[in-house]
């Protein structure tokens, strides 16, 4: 990468409806709660206070990232910044776990296997059946995609592998061109990108958490190496119990 000193902000979307019931959301298109919208607005205010402005926002095709972008940009006073969306920034697909809460998952598959699936790097959860209505081939959002690209389940490694072409082919060239980027995505997708940027091992990655609604700023040198990163702490209402 040949660029002048550059930066990029990563942000996990705000609190969603299924967070209230501790359900695995994955590719399910669930909206934000009022708390999630407030988190996004607080992030926008914090970014503006710190002097950040954006040329582009990149997010997943799921509405919770779009809602986060809209609330954040409105709070910054820059609602017209273009938003580009891609399935490659979608959350990890949780397979048969998608839509279930942790209690029911523990009962069905046991706690040890369940925690290995959702925290580990290599092993995916049990896949969705081809005819399961939760399979993304039935979702109009992906009607134009080759069904061979649609996952029935993903490990964190799988999620990272489909994310990285977007990093290399889309985001890096924009950084080279001096574009100021905000990437709004999901917890596991951003964990995969952080793993790549910080050169973390799989074992170290399992301990990484990405807080919702808190901007993570990366700075790069002229060769594209990470110079450093920082979290911009925000004030927003806590999620309902």
What is the pLDDT averaged over residues 179-205?
A: 95
Q: 163, 193 in Cβ contact below 8 A?
A: yes
28 in a structural domain:
yes
pLDDT score at 240: 41
pLDDT score at 118: 82
84 in a structural domain:
yes
DSSP E strands, the chain = 6-12, 56-59, 83-85, 181-185, 216-220, 226-231
Residues that are catalytic: 13, 91
As beta bridge partners, residue 85 has: 59
Token readout for 140 is 């109009």
52 in a structural domain:
yes
pLDDT digits (tens, 9 = 90+) for 2-54: 444 689 999 999 899 888 778 899 999 999 999 999 999 999 999 999 999 99
Task: Name which of 63-72, 97-106, 144-153 the model is least confident about.
Answer: 97-106
Residue 88, domain extent: 6-93+154-231
pLDDT for 223 beyond 90: no
The number of folded domains in the chain is 1
Q: Read off the CATH number of the domain in which 39 is found.
A: 3.40.50.1240
Residue with tokens 């596991």: 188
Token readout for 235 is 């004030």
As beta bridge partners, residue 6 has: 220
141 in a structural domain:
no
pLDDT score at 222: 79
Residue with tokens 């607080």: 42
């Amino acid at each position: 990468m040949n660029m002048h000193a550059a930066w990029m902000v990563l942000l996990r979307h705000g609190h969603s409806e299924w967070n209230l019931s501790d359900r695995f959301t994955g590719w399910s298109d669930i909206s934000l709660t009022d708390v999630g919208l407030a988190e996004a607005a607080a992030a926008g205010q914090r970014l503006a206070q710190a002097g950040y402005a954006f040329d582009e926002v990149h997010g997943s095709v799921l509405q919770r990232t779009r809602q986060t972008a809209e609330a954040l940009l409105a709070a910054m006073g820059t609602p017209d910044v273009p938003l580009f969306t891609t399935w490659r920034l979608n959350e990890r697909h949780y397979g048969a776990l998608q839509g279930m809460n942790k209690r029911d998952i523990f009962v069905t598959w046991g706690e040890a296997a369940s925690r290995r699936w959702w925290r580990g790097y290599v092993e995916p959860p049990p896949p969705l059946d081809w005819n399961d209505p939760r399979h993304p081939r039935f979702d109009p959002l992906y009607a134009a995609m080759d069904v061979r690209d649609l996952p029935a389940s993903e490990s964190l490694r799988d999620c990272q592998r489909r994310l990285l072409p977007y990093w290399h082919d889309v985001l890096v060239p924009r950084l080279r061109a001096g574009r100021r980027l905000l990437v709004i995505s999901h917890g596991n997708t951003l964990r995969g990108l952080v793993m790549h940027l910080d050169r973390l091992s799989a074992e170290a990655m399992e301990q990484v958490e990405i807080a919702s609604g808190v901007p993570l700023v990366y700075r790069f040198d002229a060769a594209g190496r990470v110079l450093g990163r920082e979290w911009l702490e925000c004030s927003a209402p806590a999620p309902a119990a």
